[in-house]
Amino acid sequence: MTRWPNHAEPWRQWRDALGGERMHHGWLLSGKAGVGKRDFALAAARELVAEPGVPQPQGDHPDILTLTYGPKDDKAEKAQADGKSFELARSIRIKQIRAMQRRLSTRPTLGARRAIIIDPADDLEKSAANALLKSLEEPPVGTFFLLVSHRPARLLPTIRSRCRTLRFPALTDSQLAAMLEDGGLPVDPAAIAAAEGSFGVALRFASQDLNPLAQVIVSLLSTRDIDFQQRGQLARLIGPRADRERVQAVLDLAQGLVARAARTSEEPYQRARLIDTHAALVSLAAEAPTANFDPGMLPFEIGTLLVSAAPASEPAHG
């Protein structure tokens, strides 16, 4: 498992609570994507369910249940059952929550505690979120929930209010560089700049060869692209049939580069445009997994948002 140098404070808070008299039953693991929240949840869950003198399995644990994206439909479920590749759903569905709740009617297998990890809780369907709320309001004895969240504002306020929040800070540039080096990956300054503190983004930058895309994004942020040539180049680099992972990688990359440009801009009007563009990219990233965007048009939507942050051809007055 990856060593995360930004986890010291979350571990301190978790272990203080674990050693206390009354452990809170709901935990919200909050922070940007790619800062190790899932790894923390898995390791923390193992500490939670372990009991002295009871051997613990090295692989899957019967008292740790992880809910994430499942098969898209009946056809995908059959493919999964047959051990074949299958398409994932774009959300965590109510039937997954119902199946989890049926498990909660039984006792834990090895000890007195059970951990439920939901990753990412941001992508719970509305009906699934409402069903989960009932379990959070009246959790069975010995059941603890760890909700991984990249965008806590998307969660129901009633879910947030029933959880104790652990905040995971972004990684520093030096920490990112050390982690890339430890992983045997090149320490690419462009990857670190684009990552904005997310090791997940830095890894995708390397694995998906995002450097050419980064160059086009930076160019779109500085020119008006009147002839649409650069937006066309962005679309070609993303690809005509880009899967969800690649689209998300591009959106993360764009957000990181826009955020860094906003921090370094010394021109107030330009900074304001960059901030607005960043907010629009965040909204687009939240909508993209569930909205039926035309795959051919989504890159142009991203490009148009980037162009909106470019300096105006005429200086602003007044």
Residues in contact with 289: Cβ distance below 8 Å, sequence separation at least 6, in sequence order: 90, 91, 123, 244, 248
Q: Say what the pLDDT of residue 224 is.
A: 83
pLDDT at 315: 43
Distance CA 49, CA 44 (A): 9
What predicted TM-score, i.e. pTM, was given to this entire model? 0.83
- pLDDT, one tens digit per residue, over 287-301 is 776 556 666 788 889
Q: pLDDT of 15-54, one tens digit each?
A: 999 999 889 999 999 999 999 999 999 999 999 999 999 9
| Residue 65 neighbours by CB under 8 Å, 6+ apart | 100, 103, 114, 115, 116, 117
Q: Quote the percentage of the chain above a pLDDT of 90.
A: 62
